[in-house]
Structure 1
């Protein structure tokens, strides 16, 4: 292999390049330590750091390829929706669900898009953070959840925005903190759209025409 081919290979494989450099520094540091102790020690420390970084990056890369691993789920954080033309696109996370960071009354809130949920629902803690209180005279409503039926209080969100979608005066269910672990976007929001569909690992939301 020529030097040019080696250079191309290392440029395409940064982890390999980092590992090789770290190994060379580690091998050269003892020879320099005798005549230049500080330089030798610095090279040795740089080699240790390089090898550690290469190991951590390799683990992260492997976790990314294994989409169901706990590491992959931890690394795959919830992001805001993407706007593509007139459509809003939510990308599936590693757990196989559609999560999105939305703005609820101006507060960043993580939501699971749940097409099986009748109402958009939030926890009491999220409601307090977004300045949402139960509607006057609300007597509560029983909702079926994954953990069984709960009694939720109905409220009204001023605005809920995700990507290019913005809902005003949206009915929203507030569940007890000890029974609601996940904020969900339900069908009462999706039904306000012009259309929504799932294509592969993307959920595509189309606003209703003005």
Structure 2
């Protein structure tokens, strides 16, 4: 331990002793209740430390996310909203997608396209797409590198949506790169 660490520890011990001493003096007429409250706070403290230590083990149950089963298989749990959410690495940037088997293209929002290194203002929105909200203009692009966990593809075709869009959509141009797509037990399974 360095001198600074010893001094910090000494300060914390003295501060704790001062706070504890003042609590004892203030509650000396009702020591039983004070001991009960101290025990409750100690249990809360131990519980927080335990949850922090076990967070990596329980995170998948609390907030499920995609995971690689083997070198060719990825599983994706259904989200709380009923959709399957995937995060792909596009040109070195993590981009969240909603899986949409009804979309023929991989569709990037303007915001996600910019994050992935494309300039949405410089794109040619020469194509049109029929959506549930009507016809929107789209710009064809080719993504240099798209990675899902350890599976990497190069020169992947996609489009950038010219209109407002909450989330990027993972459509069939990308999903079609997989040999098998299956939904079972609330999980989307992608196999190469």
Write the distance in 2 (CA, Å) between the matches of 1:114 and 1:198: 13
Q: Aligned to 2:185, which of 168, 183, 200? A: 200
2:111 aligns with: 125
Aligned: 1:82 with 2:68:
yes
2-structure distance, mates of 1:88, 1:179 = 30
Structure 1 stretches of 5 or more lacking a match? 1-29, 55-74
Q: Render the CA deviation track for 1:141-200: whole Å, top value 9, x for unaligned.
A: 111223322111111111111134322111111113x52111111100111222211112
User: 1:161/1:31 Cα in 2 relative to 1: closer, same or farther (>3 Å)?
Assistant: same
Q: Which residue of 2 aligns with 1:141?
A: 127
Relative contact order: is structure 1 or structure 2 higher (C-alpha 8 Å, sep ≥ 6)?
Answer: 2
State the shift of 1:93 in Å: 1.0
Aligned: 1:109 with 2:102: no
- Give unmatched runs, 5+ long, in structure 2: 1-22, 48-60
* Cα distance in 2, alignment partners of residues 37 and 103 from structure 1: 60
Q: Hey, what does 2:28 align to over in structure 1?
A: 35
Tell me how far 1:204 sits from its aligned partner: 1.1
Separation (CA, whole Å) in 1 of partners of 2:83 and 2:123: 35
How high is the TM-score relative to the length of structure 1?
0.60
Aligned CA-pair RMSD: 3.8
